[in-house]
Amino acid sequence: MGAIALALIALPAAAQIDPTITGLSAASAPTGGELVDVRQNGQKKAATVAQLTNTVQQRLKRAAARAAALNPEDAPENSDATLTMATSADASLTRIYSGVAGGNALTAMTLTSVSRFSGGRVTLDATNRFVLPVASAAPATNGNVASLLPATPSYQAWGWENEFGTEATRVQIRMAGFTSHAVRVLVDGRYVSKTPLAFAANSSGNYLTIDFGARKPRSIRIEGMQNDQIVSVAVAPTSSIWRMAGPQDRITAFVTGDSYAEGTGATYPGLYAWPKATGRYLGWYDTRQVAVGQTGYLSTGGGTRSTIRQQVASWFTVNSDLTGADVDVVVIAGGYNDYVSTPALVQPEALLTFQTIRAACPNAIIFVMGSHAGARGPDAQTLAIDGAVQSAFAQWADPRSVFVPVASDVSPWTFGTGYVGATNGSGNSDVAIAADGSHPSDLGHMIYTLRLVTALRLAIGRM
């Protein structure tokens, strides 16, 4: 892998912490609020123990370390449960949690009060079903959840999750979906099946049932996609569900860019997209695909959409459950749709984009990816666009940012000019680029995931 540009202020090493706090017993160890002396660039400064251990960098490190030891992508499947999808409800499961409090005699709590959603801002549509918009395709009005949220027709949803705890023997999730879409289920952090389970009907009458062999407390996490919706969760009257505490280090990540970051090309974009898989590998709890297809640093999809920089203004309108200070990571993956642009014009706009995102997300570590090559070689124009982005990154000189080469990597992530259905033996694009000739296939999304995870683990380890 090629060199990764790092511009991070490292935290003080243990040896740099003032010796007055060394050798403390467990009983007298710092609790987090005490002031200690540290040395940074040779200068002695005061900091609290909490400040040293709860920076974004340290939380990223801890999350990545835990995920390296156990993440759902690598972990074996969980045989503790069986899954079925049907079009009829189990009448014995009468404790129902939905979008409306008091939906039945046993339940006075809504699903949002006893579970956690991630991947977008949880919203109720007119029929009290849950939808999770994450990005705005404005000025376009054909967002993929426009029919569900007609007051905001530019809104789009991609990969999303719902997580809760339960001691029930059987859980049934009623969902609205399409037979071309699917879901996955994790129990205690492991997939019941890594193969997605397709919906049984194009309606709101899909019933996903999770059966266990014995009753005990478990965590359940549902992975959904796009305009599919959870309607309700049902358990037996003697069972319950509850909100999980969440991970020790809850990492919120925004991934912006074009249709590559939306997940286009994958069989199930919300499940297989490289941003979501990267988050799973690195222990990011809430990865949001704020990307908009057809766009770039300069590209607006022929005037129908906005540039990446222009989209930033809508990030916390769509994701109004967050503020910029809540975002720990931003991944910027643009340039592919700027192929027809002059590189000299891409550079200043890329710089403005980086600066705008930094102003919006002051605490975030920002990872800037180079341009995608797709099935373009990578050719000279791709590399010129990539060079413009790299030059903008170097000019930006942000101390909490990392550049990750893609097309210009020593080993480009995709190379060649063939693609699925039109192979020519010139490179891995024969299998990594889908039949549309532009976007990653399922395999391509996995290549992107593993290449990016490798780069980010290295970068995080150096922080």
pLDDT per residue, tens digit, the chain (463 aa), is 444 444 443 333 333 323 222 222 333 344 455 454 545 555 655 555 445 568 999 999 999 999 999 999 999 999 999 999 999 999 999 999 999 865 554 555 789 999 999 999 999 999 999 999 999 999 999 999 999 999 999 999 999 999 999 999 999 999 999 999 999 999 999 999 999 999 999 999 999 999 998 999 999 999 999 999 999 999 999 999 999 988 889 999 999 999 999 999 999 999 999 999 999 999 999 999 999 999 999 999 999 999 999 999 999 999 999 999 999 999 999 999 999 999 999 999 999 999 999 999 999 999 999 999 999 999 999 999 999 999 999 999 999 999 999 999 999 999 999 999 999 999 999 999 999 999 999 999 999 999 999 999 999 999 8
Token pair in block for residue 113: 């009060």
Q: Give the pLDDT score at 14.
A: 33
Say what the pTM is: 0.89
Per-residue pLDDT at 263? 97
Measured between alpha carbons, how far is 454 from 274 in angstroms, rounded to an integer?
13
CB 183 within 8 A of CB 228: yes
Q: Which helix (H) or strand (E) covers residue 10, if one does? A: none
The matching CATH number, chosen from 2.20.28.10, 3.30.1440.10, 2.60.120.260, 2.40.128.130, for 81-242 is: 2.60.120.260
d(CA 73, CA 60): 18
Q: Where are the domains of the chain?
A: 16-54, 81-242, 252-461
Dihedral pair phi/psi, residue 436, rounded to 5°: -75, -5
Q: What is the DSSP string of 11-54?
A: PPPGGGS-GGGTT--GGGS--S-SEEEEEETTEEEEEEHHHHHS
Judge contact between 30 and 61, C-beta under 8 A: no
Total residues belonging to the chain: 463
- The pLDDT of residue 42: 58
Could you tell me which residues are beta bridge partners of residue 48?
35
Relative to beta strand 241-242, strand 35-40 is unpaired
Residue 54 structure tokens: 């709860």
Find, among 376, 353, 380, 359, the residue nearest to 296 by Cα: 353
Provide CB contacts within 8 A for 120, sequence distance 6+. Answer: 132, 133, 134, 157, 158, 160, 288, 318, 319
C-beta of residue 166 within 8 angstroms of C-beta of residue 177 = no
| The pLDDT value given to residue 39 | 52
The CATH number of the structural domain formed by 252-461 is 3.40.50.1110
Q: Distance between CA atoms of 357 and 345, rounded to whole angstroms?
A: 19
Q: Are 288 and 262 in contact (CB under 8 A)?
A: no
Q: Tell me the C-alpha distance between 372 and 414, whole Å.
A: 8
Please tell me the predicted confidence (pLDDT) of residue 27. Answer: 39
Model pLDDT, residue 37: 53
